[in-house]
Amino acid sequence: MDYATLIKEVGRGARGARDLRREQAEQLFGAMLDGQVPDLELGALLIALRVKGESADEVAGFLAAMQARTAAMAAPEGPRTVLLPSFNGARKQANLMPLVAQLLAREGVPVLVFGRHDFDSRVSPFELLDALGLRASPTLAGAEQQLTTRRLAVLPLQMLNPGLNALMALRPRLGVRNSAHSLAKLLDPFPAGRGVRVVAVTHPEYLDSMAAALPGLTAQGGRALLMRASEGEAYAHLRRKAHLIGFQDGRAAPLHAADTADLDWPLSPACTPDENAALIRAMLDGREAIPPRIVEQVTVLRLLATN
């Protein structure tokens, strides 16, 4: 590939840059995932794409390259498997992503949590999962068995897509995220129609780009939930009004709760793995109230998994 020409196309800034064709984007991202792009050119391309922003065709091409290199997993019987990506961790408040996962699993909906963590300033979600007794499976087959038996499994991104994991691992070196961080939220290792993607975004501009990608990804029976993230994690903010958009059979449908006002709900500062795990256990046992926004999210995901 002529990387200099590609850099010239996408590297002219937010206004002067040109978008890649879908086929170009798929070929380029495939080369990135395969480790074929030299370091200097790779860094230039990743930064240029971040400044320019990915077009709908580029996202489609990147996604095709990513899915083609993602390990295939067998889907468990019953409801579709909910996919909960986790790449950030707790910063100022308790991380309730594992609560969402366990509430769904308790109702018979299988959940796969996957991701990676490299933020020194945040508490690793995988340390929290360990504290809850939900250790990452060492094999794909083991995760498949856990999805069948306990309806919940955890996998490092490295096992699902090593090339994508390597691109995300460049964040500390480059200083910023890159296209891989957004694409990873769309990863689905299951057969078409057997997964529910949970796409939690922080920045408003990504709501539009993800909303453009999800109809095509759900056209063959798949499901997806597009939502605002809480500290970058895939659980609803406990105070803000709901922003839940479901995708089913290629169509979007707002799934806001009847009460869309902000709530005066306490935010727990219990961020250490042990404190956070204790809070989640208390909610699961009924000793602490489950926040209404979490109840809404779980209800919507259960419907998407079963309908």
> What residue ranges define each of the domains in the chain, with the CATH number in brackets?
3-68 (1.20.970.10), 81-306 (3.40.1030.10)
Helices (H), 132-272: 140-149, 157-160, 162-168, 171-174, 179-183, 204-217
Retrieve residue 125's tokens.
Answer: 């979600």
pLDDT tens, position by position, 101-127: 999 999 999 999 999 988 777 899 999
Helix (H) or strand (E) holding 201: strand 195-201
Percent with pLDDT over 90 in the chain: 76
pLDDT tens, position by position, 167-216: 999 999 999 999 999 999 999 999 999 999 999 998 777 788 889 899 99
Q: What is the mean pLDDT of each run of 10 residues along the chain (307 residues)?
A: 95 89 97 98 97 92 97 98 92 92 98 90 91 97 98 98 98 93 96 96 82 91 92 88 88 72 74 94 96 94 95
**Amino acid letter for position 293:** R
CA distance 146 to 153: 6
Q: What are phi and psi of 149, to 5 degrees?
A: -85, -50
3-state secondary structure of 248: strand
